[in-house]
Amino acid sequence: MTQPVSYVEINGPDLPRSAAFLSAGFGWEPQPFSAADYLVAPHGDAPGVDTGLMASSDGQPRCIPVIRVPDLTTALAAVTAHGGALVVAPFTLPGIGSRCYVTDPTGVLIGLHHYDVDDGRVDAGGGGGP
């Protein structure tokens, strides 16, 4: 089964500046989601995926594709079996799901996300975003 990119994160050294640029240049409406320093620009009715904006922890700009997976443990086993590596251990986003970050064999950073709603633990009609 194909597991497509369902979300994109943009990390930058200056969150307010990036958010202002994307708002002015492309009409995005970033809003706080799960934390004041994690913004989400929903795609609304337009084609595309929601985008998370956050300050980069190391100050380096990057864009991270996030893949929705049915089970993080199974996905991590596939990553390591095919030459990838875990770089940020799984963590919980309360009421949303769990996430981790891996690299492919060439070092490309990829997010993996499992949503609680996929397990029936949250109302499918609520929320959105990552």
The model's pLDDT over 20-71, given as tens digits with 9 standing for 90+, comes to: 999 999 999 999 987 889 999 999 888 889 999 999 989 999 999 999 999 9
Residue-range domain boundaries for the chain: 69-124
Predicted TM-score of the model (pTM): 0.82
- The arrangement of strands across the sheet holding 97-103 comes to 31-35, 38-41, 51-55, 5-12, 62-68, 109-115, 97-103, 85-93
Q: What is the pLDDT of residues 63-98, one digit of tens each?
A: 999 999 999 999 999 999 999 999 999 999 888 899
CA distance 93 to 71: 15
**Burial class of 25 by CB neighbour count within 10 A (0 to 12, 13 to 18, 19+):** exposed
Report angle CA 71, 119, 85 to the nearest 5 degrees: 15
Q: In sequence order, what are the residues at sequence separation of 6 or more whose Cβ sits closer than 8 angstroms to the Cβ of residue 89?
A: 100
pLDDT value, residue 41: 95
- The CATH number corresponding to 69-124 among 3.10.180.10, 3.50.50.60, 3.40.50.970, 3.40.50.300 equals 3.10.180.10
Q: What is the pLDDT of residue 116?
A: 84
127 pLDDT band, cuts 50/70/90, is: very low
Question: What is the mean pLDDT of the segment spanning 92-109?
Answer: 93
